[in-house]
Amino acid sequence: MTDDSTDRRFSALPGRPGKVVAVHLSYASRADQRGRRPAQPSYFLKPSSSVAASGGSVERPHGTELLAFEGEIALVIGTTARRVPLDRAWDHVAWVTAANDLGLYDLRANDKGSNLRSKGGDGFTPVGPGLLDARTVDPGALRLRAWVNGELRQDDTTAGLLFSLPRLVADLSQHLTLEPGDVILTGTPAGSSVVVPGDVIEVEVDAPGGPTSGRLVTTVTQGEQSFDGALGSLPAVDDTQRVEAWGSRAAAGLAPEGLSPELREKLLQVPVAALSAQLRKRGLDDVTIDGVRPMHPDARLVGTARTLRLVPGRADLFARHGGGYNAQKRAFDTVGEGEVLVIEARGQAGSGTFGDILALRAHARGAAGIVTDGGVRDHAAVAAVGIPVYSAGAHPAILGRRHVPWDVDVAVACGGTTVEPGDILVGDGDGVVVIPPALVEDVVDAALAQEEEDGWIAEQVAAGHPVDGLFPMDARSRAGFDAWRAGR
């Protein structure tokens, strides 16, 4: 049996930790990259057998592709902590060092939030190389950096944490006893991404201008042993996991989500009335967002839906959900290029649902437009931003007069119709229509064909022909149209 006191894996620590606790999301930069900001910290456990020393290697198992690094600040507990107050929590931390919370996204779905297999592999928690005395550093002014093959990939400070380091210690101590030698991995900032065999990862924690942990060095190697499917789940990846692991669709080598340029151009050519008619032919009548009017009547709106749900105003709920970085701000901060932010306001126009600052934010992010069945504050200033907006009208009151920002990226009811994230929205002077993504190609092609027929019919009527036999076309008119079309 290996003596833990001489085991090189734990050489940067006082000994083998009894437990390693890790935080899911803790840096604002990472949370914004993921499109969600937790209200409270959440945690998972890593086995102490995953701990490794600087200068070692980590194996990417055979048959996997998404091994990702996460540079983190590690806290080493010095004295037992149980139900400690926030103002005393840091007293229980003895040392600070660098860590790399490696994870295998190929196995993440199998264990949901527990991360046991995806983050518990041997060598998946390098720590070190040096320990910083916690008494000599400010927990609010530490810097974390990570490099891959010498290229800086992560650079953030504890000023960017959603939850301070002492708060993590105090919170955990409410639920379990933190014992001397335990390690807390405090989360990773934006910049985490996939590494491949041959890559060298370095992580460093320092107080700028002061002490440093030194660089924690880990080399990725390729494993040769496959997983046995007869024993348990096999690795599996999809585009969702690829985006999460790489950090973005572009970094993962995937095409942008949403509409292709060709499909978008087709949708821009077709009147909403023609699309509505085609949807009706397919049995979809309740797909118009009623009660909204365009802020710019000549503008066209085409994009994929992102959603924001507002619930009826209630003082106690607004106190819990309305302040700070609430669902409304998250929605406007994460809406993407070519997306339309759809706001469920229950047709309640007695307050604004957004104003000029948030309109500017959506415009800067490349959003295709905003649709709300509620009111708009700063109406003239929003109009000047230039982003297409459909709303129930202007209102000077703030959102909190009638609404509580509640949730994002869920199915919403806007203007009497259901909108799911990813639905296609098209708007013009007649209004806004919602098209299920699975139908959009068929619907737009049929609408373009119908528009061609309607154009020919309009020419015949303008020339003096009666609508009987033209609208709809009888056999004689159809033959005339076919001949006209063939001669074009």
Q: What percent of the chain has pLDDT over 90?
A: 72
User: Is 184 labelled a binding residue?
Assistant: no
Q: Which of 246, 267, 297 is the last residue of a domain?
A: 246
Task: Please report which helix (H) or strand (E) contains residue 360, including its range.
Answer: helix 356-364
Same domain, 319 and 223: no
pLDDT tens figures, 46-101: 999 999 999 999 999 999 999 999 999 999 999 999 999 999 999 999 999 999 99
Domain check: are 291 and 417 in the same one? Answer: yes
Name the DSSP class of 179.
Answer: -
pTM of full prediction above 0.75: no
For residue 373, CA distances in Å to 173, 260, 291, 292, 341 come to 46, 28, 7, 6, 12
User: Over pLDDT 70: what percentage of the chain?
Assistant: 98
Domain count, the chain: 2
Boundary-marking domain end, from 390, 420, 435: 435
**Known binder of ligand: residue 356?**
yes
Please tell me the predicted confidence (pLDDT) of residue 4: 57
Split at pLDDT 50, 70, 90, the class of 232 is confident
pLDDT tens digits, one per residue of 264-305: 999 999 999 999 999 999 999 999 999 999 999 888 999 999
CB neighbour list of residue 173: distance below 8 Å, 6 or more residues apart:
81, 82, 83, 84, 89, 92
Distances (CA, A) of 338 to 230, 256, 348, 371, 419: 45, 10, 27, 14, 16
Would you say residue 449 lies in a domain?
A: no
Same domain, 51 and 197: yes
Residue 73 among known ligand-binding residues: no
pLDDT of res. 2 = 47
Q: Are residues 124 and 232 in the same domain?
A: yes
Is 358 flagged in the annotation as binding? yes
Domain that holds residue 30: 8-246
Q: Does residue 480 sit within a domain?
A: no
| 3-state DSSP assignment of residue 270 | coil
Q: Where residue 328 sits, what CATH number does that domain have? A: 3.50.30.40
210 inside domain: yes
Asked whether residue 132 falls in the same domain as residue 14, the answer is: yes
Looking at the structure, tell me whether residues 17 and 121 fall in a common domain.
Answer: yes
Q: Are 224 and 328 within one domain?
A: no
Residue 253 has a pLDDT of 79
Looking at the fold, whether 216 and 324 belong to one and the same domain comes out as no
- 209: Cβ–Cβ under 8 A, 6 or more apart, which residues? none
Residues composing the chain:
488
Any known ligand binding at 429?
Answer: no
